[in-house]
């Protein structure tokens, strides 16, 4: 039981850090003018905006299902989607900047893979049970 407790803390720490990273990266891509983004990567602007939206949604998907205890299956799916984005980021970074800078998206993708596998197979998030939801509603409404 002690091992699962430690893994829970590790997973939540990695999930929060990844969520902050993707929220920041996606947010910057959403608010930054499109011209500098296109010049950096030579990818189409609409595709970069799409990636930004996916990063922001993925960040929310890493955290919200576990906090709210609803649709907890979305956390490993969000992490898996972020792995796909990081595979593309490794390729684009390696082509435009070289292998050294590609280490950051590679490590980020590996951390997302750790979360995806762990939340899918090793320590899935527990969904809120109907009984717990009913108890919560009766306490919060006073009935």
In this prediction, residue 42 carries a pLDDT of 82
Quick: pLDDT tens for 43-64. Answer: 999 999 999 999 999 999 999 9
For residues 82 and 131, what is the distance between their CA atoms, to the nearest angstrom? Answer: 33
Q: Are 29 and 52 in contact (CB under 8 A)?
A: yes
Burial of 94 (0-12, 13-18, 19+ CB in 10 A): middle
In this prediction, residue 136 carries a pLDDT of 47
For residues 55 and 123, what is the distance between their CA atoms, to the nearest angstrom? Answer: 24
Can you give the pTM of this predicted structure? 0.85
In this prediction, residue 40 carries a pLDDT of 84
Quick: pLDDT tens for 53-97. Answer: 999 999 999 999 999 999 999 999 999 999 999 999 999 999 999
């Amino acid at each position: 039981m002690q091992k699962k407790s430690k893994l829970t803390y590790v997973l939540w720490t990695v999930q929060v850090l990844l969520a902050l990273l993707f929220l920041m990266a996606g947010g910057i891509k959403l608010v930054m003018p499109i011209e500098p983004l296109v010049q950096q990567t030579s990818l189409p602007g609409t595709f970069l905006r799409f990636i930004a939206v996916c990063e922001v949604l993925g960040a929310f998907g890493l955290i919200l299902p576990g906090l709210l205890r609803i649709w907890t299956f979305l956390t490993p799916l969000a992490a898996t989607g972020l792995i796909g984005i990081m595979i593309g980021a490794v390729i684009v970074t390696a082509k435009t900047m070289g292998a050294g800078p590609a280490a950051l998206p590679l490590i980020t993708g590996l951390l997302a893979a750790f979360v995806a596998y762990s939340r899918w197979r090793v320590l899935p998030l527990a969904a809120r049970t109907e009984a717990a939801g009913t108890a919560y509603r009766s306490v919060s409404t006073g009935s």
